[in-house]
Chains A and B, each alone.
Chain A
């Protein structure tokens, strides 16, 4: 691999990973705020509208950081991946262009109305603004996912006379079967992230004895939503996504699972380290037959191992892919009993006073972030060595005239700038948490 290519890959990987810290919270939070607003409309209880107001401030900071780190993503398709844009722009330009025209507009306009309009709008119109913010962010999510889904599983295209990809069916692009499970899995994961964050702040306020009425609302909404959505991550959404991988990218499945040899009744690996010299898994801890069953619903079914595929079709970084996948699944498995226990205590009426559970909820919020990032690493490392699966290799996609030195220059620039952003973000969020939810409803003015 020549070093300019490495630089462009690091550049995109770093900026997209950093960017996605913000939308994963705002997309989930948009739903939770909508739920809070619905409850406020239903019960006329100030605790719900006060909570919505507090979370709208957290949302606004995350949204602003999401926008300023998001514009570089659109640009980088052209700046760093010119050969790819040239090849595939006719297809993914559609979804990315729609994202620019529709979602950005929906979100930013109605967010302004939602943040500053509570005094002027009727409660129902203010609820409507919250709904439009939710709609905008979830639509935006779909258009981005369908862009990625096309790279994972290209549909609705043909190779034109000039050798470039041509779009032949707009609807096939938008209804890509790959996108559907991936979308639900991703959006539910966002709701889980937001639920853990909401629960964590609720737990923190209860532990330090501040804003207790609001804290209980945060915990109630966060734990109920977190429990429902975390349970839907492995089944049906994760399962559906896994079957799509097994069907369309069998070598990726083998690499994710660390399955070097094809096997009938393949086990599910819980722990172990891929050894790429000896092509085996060291120290494996396995549950026999489970992988076969999950993939094909038969305990004895044959699952193809990496040995069934030529080496130049293997994902390039199998250990990292394997670990990303196992970190996502492992953390997800850990988060489920945490939320289940919290939901049980909530049902028994003991959650607000059981301090060990509150401590656990307060400290758990980074894990859904890590699991989500690991999930995306799994998806994108699993696509390698392809940029567009089966059509274009990653090595062919980078900008041919942008040198490694220039790539490093801007990568370092982004590293520095984003370090500053991180400090400011923590400061701003910390301030909002310190101020807490406003105890008084805002007066008409």
Chain B
């Protein structure tokens, strides 16, 4: 039962990264791919109708984790207090920017909110990457089951790490690049004209950046978190996850060139899911490794709710998520097709 809920929470988080990832990524490259006001509206219309729904995954992931792993929820949210609060402010600013931008036909007003939107998107992607890095590296959990990490300490992933150090910063950067690439592929798929051309032009350099950082991070991870190597050695079938990741990464390259935008975007989705699965497999059954004494690590077993609670939650969770899926299917179908710079799109 714990394993099932571990997979479900991971699924929701992956859903969040895949869906909200492309609108975050569109935000990161927004100022570069869209120059004129009409082009900027084109990008916003390419994410606008689905963005609100995409954030449901974050709320659902938080709620599901609270329900199934209350101890993990309590420990990680209070331990990552500062970065989470900053992420909340960024989410508020980003939502506000998209909401407000089109209310006034005024250049200054629009460029203000355009910049807020792009900046908040980039910082959010960076922050989520740093969070993933922290979960793999481990945090200084104490015997009470709590910890607290500052933004930074001495930038070493040693006994008293901060959120940012030489291991998590590359992960955060690569997350920002990966999300930007994901967004660029979405924009390339959903738009035409100059915006599409510029978005496609960005994919190549971003791809190389992701590859370089991915190699670096893989090497660093085995050094920082030996548990990852142990897991793969003990269960070789787990190599399927990095293999899928690699296939996704190469497929992006393959489909991107002959203008097969949807396939390239889906390849990027496979890549992201593969990467997250690799990370989840690497730390399992830990959900938050301790950076000191490994026996203090939080696992799916010592953080879960009672079995009655978990089986009850399954009864509303499954129909609830089926509804969400149906809704996603309908909305994406309704807003299918390309968005153009001029005229009545959607």
Contacts and interface: CB of A to CB of B under 8 A. Distances in A.
Given A78-B73, A78-B76, A105-B327, A410 B67 contact: no
B92 A417 contact: yes
B147 A75 contact: no
Given A78-B77, A100-B63, A401-B147, A445 B344 contact: yes
A101 B306 contact: no
Interface in B47-93: 49, 52-53, 55-56, 58-60, 62-64, 66-68, 70-71, 73-79, 81-82, 84-85, 88-89, 91-93
Given A86-B70, A170-B312, A424 B96 contact: yes
B63 A96 contact: yes
A399 B313 contact: no
A74 B95 contact: no
A93 B68 CA distance: 8
Interface in B289-332: 305-306, 308-309, 312-313, 316-317, 320-321, 323-324, 327, 331
A86 B63 contact: no
B189 interface: no
A74 B85 contact: no
Contacts of A410: 81-82, 85
Contacts of B75: 82, 86
A417 B321 CA distance: 33
A416 to B, nearest CB: 9
B146 A82 contact: yes
A77 interface: yes
A83 interface: yes
B218 interface: no
A358 B93 CA distance: 38
Interface stretch (A34-42, A65-73, A249-257): A65-73
A298 to B, nearest CB: 43
B333 interface: no
B77 A82 contact: yes
A427 B317 CA distance: 40
B160 to A, nearest CB: 13
A309 interface: no
A82 B103 contact: no
A172 to B, nearest CB: 12
A400 interface: yes
Contact of B312 (A79, A94, A406): A94
A403 to B, nearest CB: 8
A422 B91 CA distance: 17
Nearest to A83: B74
A168 B308 contact: yes
Contacts of B95: 64, 67-68
Given A72-B88, A90-B70, A108 B321 contact: no
A74 B59 contact: yes
Interface of A: 61, 64, 67-69, 71-72, 74-75, 77-80, 82-86, 88-94, 96-102, 104-105, 108-109, 112, 116, 160, 164, 166-168, 170, 399-403, 406, 409-410, 413, 417, 421, 424, 428, 431, 445
11 contacts: A71-B91, A78-B73, A80-B81, A94-B309, A96-B67, A102-B316, A104-B60, A105-B323, A167-B305, A168-B308, A401-B148
